[in-house]
Amino acid sequence: MRAIGQSATRIDAEGKVTGETAYPGDLNMPKQAYLKILFAGRPHAIVKAIDTSKAEALEGVIGVFTAKDVPVNEYGLTMKDQPVLCGPGSAKPFTDRVRFVGDQVAVVVAETEAIAAQGCALIEVDYEDLPDVTDVDLARQPDAPQIHPDQESNAFYSYTIRKGDVEAAFARADVIVESEYRTPAQEHAFLAPEAGIVYWDEQDRITVAVAGQWAHEEQAMIAHALDLPKEKIRVIHPAIGGAFGGREDISIQLVMALALWRLDQRGIRRPIKTIWSRTESIIGHHKRHPYLIRAKWGATKDGKVIAARSEVLADAGAYNFTSNKVLGNATQTVSGPYAIDNVSVDAHAIYTNNIPGGAFRGFGGPQGAFAAEMQISKLAEALGMDPVEIRMKNVLTDGVDGHTQSPLPPPVTMDRVIEECALSSGWVKQKGEWVGPYQQQADDPHIKRGLGFSAGFKNVGFSFGFPERSWATVELHGQSEIERVVVHHAGSDVGQGAHTVFRQIAAEALDVPLEIVELVAADTAVTGDSGSSSASRMTFMAGNAIRGAARLALERWTDEDLSL
């Protein structure tokens, strides 16, 4: 192959190592103002009143905005359950409530960042504190504080799987393992905190330059909240200082666009910049979901797993964000990559007053896989069986239904993966059974050595029927030969090297040198919707879109040559 499989220099390598690449926090424009956000700082309360008069009177403050300034005070990636700003003055019920410490209450725009911060400190908010709930079990109780009064329950999204007869299978099992697992919240801790600049472009569009993972979805959410046509909103992703899922949901985009738009209505047209501190970043964006998983598995004495029952409780925090989709992947992985005839799964996403859970590398898969691998390892221990042996006895293969009662897309190579990993780690087969390597123990009795083994699988794409999409445009320029290729694709490069891969795929599809392929990326004004740079989907989805566009472009190029 000409480009695929070759070691290509990353498209962004030189700019990043020399410091020439501009991240959102590096962007500056003439006469720019600065924005700061007043966060709730409390987990659950009704905002009875907001007095901004002292902040507005502060010298250097240009504007102060609250919930009453938001035309449509709601947003959300898959469920619009979160206010842009919390407080009185919105038409939508219950937007006057804060539900976690990072809820945004007011926005101050000023001549300097320091003045904006001082303005936030001068805003007086009258809160009526409400009981909070931070535990998923307690949040499910009938008398628990209701996080969203317009919902029937704090358990707002569920998946159910029933396969076979679990109770009958448990009755036949020779060994049963029952355990409870808790996985914690986890912070993405990407190097660059949330930052960006918003301005009016040459076509009079609200233009938000910010690090994100799905430019077109950010554009749509901004347009919805401001009640403007999407064409009036432009989102650009400059260089992105890490993400790991942490930029999939909105952070600063909405309030920046709101402030620019409202100031323009007052005759003030200036760019606005903001950079979150690390503290603001920690409280202001979502985390990996904490999970509580209760699992009961049963197996026969020969190591065949015949029953698995799981209760999966995801702590969604104050809002949905992507909880419903993350829960789906945990539901898929909680029974492991194993062929089990009798399965019961009850999975629920539950509102609490914790910081919301959202996308994080693995997207729910690691939590489910952790519980599954612990269970099968405990079964192996109870049976006195090697951990590789029990996995090979139960692993899914081509044409075998998983617990969702449908086979995985072929080829299913998990058995080969397990075998290769085992062999490379010192396992051997003796008399037809797997035997692990001997572990020499240390002389110090408090030091123990061991070798663990686990297996897992993960989605590529959003799964569960989500309408996948990824658009690409390819331009060919030249005379008798292709001399220049321009690829338009909105996919964000969050550090994974996607933009380099886009160029490689285009070069391969067109059979041209990589050096003549240019990329125009992550700008809603000149690219189609790519879908999100998440769920391990970008190389697959963008790659096929670029490959298809390149083939169409090549066909037209050839047709033009023939017509001449």
38, 89, 126, 182, 234 from 50: Cα distances, Å:
11, 10, 6, 39, 31
**By the 8 A CB rule, do 152 and 286 touch?**
no
Q: What is the mean pLDDT of the chain?
A: 95
The set of residues, in sequence order, having a beta carbon less than 8 Å from that of 522 and lying 6+ positions away, is 215, 236, 237, 490, 491, 492, 493
Cα separation, 169 vs 299, whole angstroms: 9
pLDDT of the residue at 187: 96
pLDDT at 408 over 90: no
Q: Which of 339, 426, 449, 436 is nearest to 385 (CA)?
A: 436
Q: Tell me the angle at which helices 323-333 and 365-383 cross, rounded to the nearest 10 degrees.
A: 20
**By the 8 A CB rule, do 373 and 455 touch?**
yes
pLDDT of the residue at 480: 86
Task: Report the sign of the C-alpha dihedral through residues 210, 213, 214, 220, in that order.
Answer: negative
pLDDT at 189 over 90: yes
**By the 8 A CB rule, do 310 and 293 touch?**
yes
Please give the DSSP secondary-structure letter assigned to residue 362.
T
The 10 Å CB-count burial string (b at 16+, else e) for 97-135 is bbbbbbbbbbbbbbbeeebbbbbbebbebebeebebbeb
Cα separation, 139 vs 330, whole angstroms: 20
Instruction: State the residue for tokens 């909240």.
Output: 225
Cα separation, 307 vs 295, whole angstroms: 11
Predicted confidence (pLDDT) per residue in 89-117, tens digit: 999 999 999 999 999 999 999 999 999 99
34, 45, 78, 499, 551 from 528: Cα distances, Å:
31, 41, 20, 15, 18
- The amino acid at 275: I
**By the 8 A CB rule, do 444 and 403 touch?**
no
Task: State mean pLDDT over 22-43.
Answer: 97
Q: Where on the phi/psi map is residue 258: left (φ > 0), alpha (ψ -120 to 50), or beta?
A: alpha
pLDDT at 329 over 80: yes
Task: State mean pLDDT over 431-438.
Answer: 91
At 434, the pLDDT band (50, 70, 90 cuts) reads: very high
Paired residues of 383 in beta bridges: none
**By the 8 A CB rule, do 313 and 348 touch?**
yes
Task: State mean pLDDT over 369-376.
Answer: 98
The set of residues, in sequence order, having a beta carbon less than 8 Å from that of 253 and lying 6+ positions away, is 196, 208, 210, 212, 218, 221, 222, 235
Judged by DSSP in three states, 552 sits in: helix
Predicted confidence (pLDDT) per residue in 454-509, tens digit: 999 988 877 777 778 899 999 999 988 999 999 999 999 999 999 999 999 999 99
**Strands ordered across the beta sheet of 175-183:** 155-163, 343-351, 305-317, 291-299, 175-183
Please give the DSSP secondary-structure letter assigned to residue 535.
T
Predicted confidence (pLDDT) per residue in 227-277, tens digit: 999 999 999 999 999 999 999 999 999 999 999 999 999 999 999 999 999
Q: Which two tokens mark 216?
A: 């077109």
Cα separation, 368 vs 355, whole angstroms: 21
Give the CA diameter of the chain: 84
| pTM (predicted TM-score) | 0.94
pLDDT at 364 over 70: yes
Give the helix ranges, DSSP H, for 298-401. 323-333, 365-383, 387-394
Q: Residue 487: which H helix or E strand, with range?
A: strand 482-489
pLDDT of the residue at 561: 62
Paired residues of 39 in beta bridges: 104
The 10 Å CB-count burial string (b at 16+, else e) for 404-431 is beeebeeebebbeebbeebeeeebeeee
Residues in the chain: 564
pLDDT of the residue at 536: 84
Q: How far apart are the first and last CA of the chain?
A: 31
At 380, the pLDDT band (50, 70, 90 cuts) reads: very high
Instruction: State the residue for tokens 């008399």.
Output: 431
pLDDT at 14 over 70: yes
Predicted confidence (pLDDT) per residue in 344-358, tens digit: 999 999 999 999 999
SS (H, E, C) 104-147: EEEEEEECCHHHHHHHHHHCEEEEEECCCCCCHHHHCCCCCCCC
- Going through 149-258 in order, the beta strands assigned E by DSSP cover 155-163, 175-183, 195-200, 206-210, 233-236
At 300, the pLDDT band (50, 70, 90 cuts) reads: very high
Cα separation, 355 vs 98, whole angstroms: 11
21, 158, 214, 266, 429 from 263: Cα distances, Å:
30, 43, 26, 5, 72
Instruction: State the residue for tokens 């331009």.
Output: 475
Instruction: State the residue for tokens 């690409």.
Output: 472
Predicted confidence (pLDDT) per residue in 543-553, tens digit: 999 999 999 99
Instruction: State the residue for tokens 């740079």.
Output: 533
Q: Cβ–Cβ contacts within 10 Å for residue 331, how many?
A: 25
Q: Which of 5-9, 214-218, 357-361, 506-510 has the lowest mean pLDDT?
A: 5-9
Q: Which of 204-213, 435-444, 471-480, 500-509 has the lowest mean pLDDT?
A: 435-444
Q: Which two tokens mark 110?
A: 């000023």
Instruction: State the residue for tokens 């040459």.
Output: 202
Q: Considering the chain, what percentage of its residues have pLDDT values greater than 90?
A: 87
